[in-house]
Amino acid sequence: MSGLAIQMAYVVAAALFIFGLKLLGSPASARRGNLLSAVGMLLAVVAALLDQGIVEYQWILLGFAVGGVIGAAAARLVQMTSMPEMVALFNGFGGMASLLVGAAALGTSTATFTLVTIVLSILIGGLTFTGSLVAWGKLSEKIGSGAIMFSGQKIVNSLIVLAILASAVMFCLQPENLNWLFLLIALSLLFGVMAVIPIGGADMPVVISLLNSYSGLAACAAGFAVNNNILIVAGALVGAAGIILTQIMCKAMNRSLSNVLFSGFGSVKTTAT
């Protein structure tokens, strides 16, 4: 299939995603909407497989087989009551996939723009992965569902953010030195843990919704890194829709988003006084 036909297939897939999300917003049409967006995904995957750059299929098929079986089994077997943590877990895998795509794109180009998008996909993908794992652990009570806090947490988090910024800059300046890449990945993973542990279990659905938005943004950044339209469009859609949904969920609880995200830090203050 020629490049133009593939791009047109991506356009149709994007339209199906948009319609699907729209239909998911009302009870009568929600199931149809989900099906529609699944058809869009199938179309995008088939189009990607027909690309002339694809010369070898065994690794792709192996990946599909492994991921498909695990995903299908998990979706079938999960208890109805544990749906939210299942979503969190799936979401984490999506974030990790974006991280890997971003890291793998390093070989293709060393233009600054590409490097910045690689940094973003690694950073957002990494924090989505570990953040989702922590959210999953809290909801399924594999780890304590309460907010985990320690003194000096703010300082530690600020240091991590500074270290991320520093390693991101160094990575862009010296892309051939892989140590910066590994440091960036490690810090992103650490940051995901640190961002979610101070939030209590009851607020987890909001956090998962936010992480869902992040995984969209990670896919979007990965799309910039590998120059792929459908990743950018679908990723941005999920990112924006996820943010709005997060806000709606916060409003439903009569809270603001910052109140949910930083409630843990606030309670440190109140217990101290």
Partner 1 sequence: MEPVYLTFILMLSIFVGFELITKVPATLHTPLMSGANAISGVTVVGAISLAGTGQQDLANWLGAAAVALASINVVGGYMVTDRMLAMFKKKGA
Q: Which of residues 49-88 bind partner 1 (CB under 8 A)?
A: 49, 51, 53-57, 59-60, 62-64, 66-68, 70-72, 74-76, 78, 80, 83-84, 86-87
Residues 193-222 that bind partner 1 (CB under 8 A): 205, 208-209, 212, 215-216, 218-220, 222
- Among 12, 21, 143, 172, interactor with partner 1 by CB under 8 A: 21
Using CA atoms, how far apart are residues 144 and 204, in angstroms rounded to an integer? Answer: 13
Residue 130: both structure tokens together: 């570990």
Please report whether residue 241 would count as binding partner 1 according to CB under 8 A. yes
- For residue 13, the minimal CB distance to partner 1 (Å) is 8
Q: Are 257 and 248 in contact (CB under 8 A)?
A: no
Q: Name which of residues 82 to 121 contact partner 1 (CB under 8 A).
A: 83-84, 86-87, 90-91, 93-94, 96-98, 100-101, 103-108, 113
53 token code pair: 């750059």
- SS3 annotation, 111-125: CHHHHHHHHHHHHHH
To partner 1, the closest distance from the beta carbon of 155 in angstroms equals 33
Structure tokens at 142: 């594999």
12 binds partner 1 (CB under 8 A): no
Which member of 1, 30, 149, 156 binds partner 1 (CB under 8 A)?
A: 30
**How buried is 176 (Cβ within 10 angstroms: 0-12 exposed, 13-18 middle, 19+ buried)?**
exposed
Q: Does 231 bind partner 1 (CB under 8 A)?
A: yes
Q: What is the total count of residues that contact partner 1 (CB under 8 A)?
A: 101
Does 268 bind partner 1 (CB under 8 A)? Our answer is no
195 to 89, 204, 212, 228: CA distances (angstroms): 16, 12, 15, 30
Contact 147, 267 (CB under 8 A): yes
Amino acid at 147: A
